[in-house]
Amino acid sequence: MAALILVCSCSMLFSSCLARRRLIVRKGSNVAQPLLVADRAALIEAISREYRAVNDFTATVDMVPALGSAEKSKITEYKDVRAYILFRQPANIRIIGLYPVVRNKAFDMTSDGARFKLYIPSRDAFIQGSNEIVQRSENRIENLRPQHFVDALLVRPVDLAADKVVLENLTDEDGAYYILHVIREENGALRLDRTIWFSRVNLEIARQMLFDAAGNILTDARYSEWKSYDKVAFPKHVEINRPQDEYGVVIDLVKMEINKGVTDDKFVLEQPPGTTLRVLGQQPAAPAGQSPASSTKGKTNPE
């Protein structure tokens, strides 16, 4: 009987004095909100559905480009850059960036998915080459590819015929995510191709990481503030980091039009007269003299 009283007394002591209840509040949720549940098939289908919903778009955005990397502990940001992004499936993209305040053109670049062109008025430079970076340049701007924005802004569907997919439930005190690990087999070996993160608060895509064959991060894209534009869901805030290329950009949508049509001429970028052509992998050429002027030179709004 004495032993029973002792056990009860200890139990009351531990429950009232030593136990501490903590309420976990995650970003975008409240204490009472339960976490959502989904399986691997549902998440894969959600990616495909959102990708198929966007045939084209025209966006006005505020950008904060940054040079440097977290690994080298030095990042320089350039604020208040206005830009226009035009996209059309499967891989056409054009991005026109304007300087802060004066709003003169800072850069103009386009890509068809295989090759890219980049015009930098301040340097009278016109750069073109393959989307694939064979050897990274010490000049970071030469590592910039419009295709990097396509890969980050639109999460492409999982190819179940070629990829293996493993689902992880990463739920702890700091966050609650479902993570799809997309694994690819190359030359008889398995490698991690990318990871796609879903918030369990709302089952929206929160992050996508793309990796190279050695497991290094190529792109780390984070998404938030998903909204409906022309009845299509799209993140209002996107953070893109390219640590190997030592640059990143934060994008905030100001205006977005989806599936209104983008014509072929919007993706045409010709070398302006007087600029120096640089074909990556080759020596710089003489300034252009006979090339027709770009039909978009001097324009700041492609609309």
Residue 183 lies in a domain: yes
Tell me if 243 is assigned to some domain.
yes
Residue 109 lies in a domain: yes
Could you tell me the two tokens for 163?
């990829």
24 lies in some domain: no
Q: What's residue 20's pLDDT?
A: 63
CATH (domain of 184) = 2.50.20.10
Give the tens place of pLDDT for each residue, 84-128.
999 999 999 999 999 887 788 989 999 999 999 999 999 999 999
Residue 146 lies in a domain: yes
Task: Tell me the whole-structure pTM to 2 decimals.
Answer: 0.80
188 within some domain: yes
Position 53 scores a pLDDT of 97
Report in angstroms the alpha-carbon separations of 225 from 187, 190, 222, 238, 286: 40, 34, 11, 9, 47
Token look-up 């890509």 returns 111
Average pLDDT over residues 3-27: 56
pLDDT in tens, 181-210: 999 998 889 999 999 999 999 999 999 999
Domain count, the chain: 1
What pLDDT, on the 0 to 100 scale, is given for residue 22?
57
Beta-bridge partners for 233: 228
Query: What confidence tier does 1 reach under pLDDT thresholds 50, 70, 90?
Result: low
**The pLDDT of residue 76 is above 70:** no
Long-range contacts of 65-70 (CB under 8 A, 24+ apart): 65/97, 65/247, 65/248, 65/249, 66/247, 66/248, 66/249, 66/250, 67/140, 67/246, 67/247, 68/246, 68/247, 69/243, 69/246, 70/241, 70/243
Residue 11 domain flag: no
Which pLDDT band holds residue 52 (cuts at 50, 70, 90)?
very high
Task: Kindly report the average pLDDT of the chain as a whole number.
Answer: 84
Region 262-281: mean pLDDT is 93
pLDDT value, residue 67: 76
Could you tell me the residue range of the domain that residue 121 belongs to? 40-279
Q: What is the pLDDT of residue 196?
A: 98
pLDDT (0 to 100) of residue 17: 59
Confidence at residue 174, expressed as pLDDT on a 0 to 100 scale: 85
Segments in the chain forming alpha helices (H)? 2-13, 40-52, 146-153
Please report whether residue 200 resides in a domain: yes
Q: Which residue would you say has higher pLDDT here, 276 or 26?
A: 276
Q: Is the pLDDT of residue 254 over 60?
A: yes
